[in-house]
Amino acid sequence: MRSSSVRTASLTWLVFGLLLAASPLGSEVSTVAVPNGAGSNSGAISLLADGTIYQADFSGTVVRKIRPNGAVSVLADGFFSPEGNAIDAEGYLLQSNFEDRSNPTAPDAISRISPDGTVTEFAGGFNGPVGLTIAADGTVFVAMCRDNSVVRVEADGSSSSVISSGALYACPNGITMDELGDLYVTNNGTGTVIRLDMRDPNAITATEFASIAGGRVNHATYVSGSLYVTANLANQIWRIPMTSKRKAKAPKLLAGDGSRARVDGPNLSASFARPNGIARNAVGSALFTNEDNNAIRKITLDLARPKKPKKLKASVLDNQSVLLTFKHKDRNREGYAIEALIVGESDWGPVAEVTAPSLEVELHGLDPDTEYQFRVSAFNGTASSKASKKVRVSTPQ
């Protein structure tokens, strides 16, 4: 396993450390914004780390920017039935153009939008692209509704290839990726979710992962070991928990009483009106969805407390560095926080944070000829586990 990059723990981690497990998943639904002049059908949404929302207007031609304070503006215009989107590592938005209604047989494209609204074509020649997701290396995966397929596009947009197609798909609409690199595709036509096992890129396997009652599952996002999907016709948001062996548990209703309305309040008594796009915030503590008239709704999450990591071990690398390794089978986590204590002192302090799924971390800049104790805890967007058992190690002179 490759060593993970480490960043110094910050106040963000300290907040996680103070949060304990909460009660039912999803506590409140609220309305964030209802853009003026919006069409009736909304496309997908994506979130920047600062909470800014990009929203495609499927009935129109624009992509909107919605600031955390609720201010709405047009990021860019001139699209053809804009639907799915995703943000790349440079902060640019990739936006699918589902169909040119004035010329429905024309090939469809994916646009790339800069933060200042400049639009260029990223890749073209498609047939009904909808959902997009982007891997860590920049590779783009696209759900192709009309072709009933999933397409891989190179990071520079220069070439594309079909990686999965066939009877499992019925207007694949949404697509997202988990922390292990597997893909999940939602079928607009059947309400099923398809999982693509990506462990071997030369032998990708597709299987039905889950099915949501009511049909028409539009988009999906992944948070801490669970898939969250919009059940469009059912006017609900569903959660699909996962096991450590890449299997689905029984789907659970997260929010929505089933009526087609816009009613805020506790998650199970709130109402949605044809929810479509869905995206998470940076820390995984809230979901955002958009619906009729492009209204943006927020669902706060109260995630269960992760199980604590086990079998923490320490190995000396040099007189200022150690390698920590540990085990953890609970996928209900975003990452791991490392604490250290110099033997003879009384206060533990945060020293590093590592992103899941990595189970090892190198610590540098330690004091030579010093005896340390270390412990690790898992965290998600709203809770932190108990700390692992301590491990003791001494750095040489």
Element spanning 315, H or E: strand 310-318
pLDDT digits (tens, 9 = 90+) for 66-115: 999 889 999 999 999 999 999 999 999 999 999 988 888 788 999 999 99
Residue 345 DSSP code: B
CA atoms within 13 A on the CB side of 123: 22
How many angstroms separate the CA atoms of 333 and 225, rounded? 7
How many angstroms separate the CA atoms of 78 and 46, rounded? 19
Residue stretches of the chain with pLDDT short of 50: 1-24
Tokens 């309400």, residue located = 191
Task: Write down the pLDDT at residue 343.
Answer: 97
Q: Which of 390, 393, 386, 389 is nearest to 372 (CA)?
A: 393
- Angle at CA of residue 57, ends 53 and 60, nearest 5°: 150
Residue 293 DSSP code: G
How many angstroms separate the CA atoms of 344 and 346, rounded? 7
Q: In b/e form, how buried is each residue of 79-111, taking b as 16+ CB within 10 angstroms?
A: bbbbbbbbbeeeebbbbbbbbeeeeeeeebbbb
How many angstroms separate the CA atoms of 185 and 250, rounded? 17
Task: Write down the pLDDT at residue 104.
Answer: 80
Residues with Cβ within 8 Å of 321's Cβ and at least 6 positions away in sequence, in order, are 362, 363, 364, 365, 366, 395
Q: Which of 171, 181, 219 is nearest to 201 (CA)?
A: 181
In sequence order, what are the beta bridge partners of 354?
Answer: 336
Are 248 and 222 in contact by the 8 Å Cβ rule? The answer is no
Cα separations in angstroms, 18 against 56, 90, 199, 318, 334: 37, 32, 36, 33, 16
CA atoms within 13 A on the CB side of 252: 14
Domains of the chain (ranges plus CATH)?
23-300 (2.120.10.30), 310-394 (2.60.40.10)
pLDDT digits (tens, 9 = 90+) for 26-50: 589 999 988 865 556 789 999 999 9
How many angstroms separate the CA atoms of 336 and 359, rounded? 8
Task: Write down the pLDDT at residue 159.
Answer: 93
Single pTM value for the model: 0.90
**Could you write out the DSSP letters of every residue in 182-236?**
-EEEEETTTSEEEEEE-SSTTS-EEEEEEE-TTS-EEEEEEETTEEEEEETTTTE
How many angstroms separate the CA atoms of 297 and 27, rounded? 13
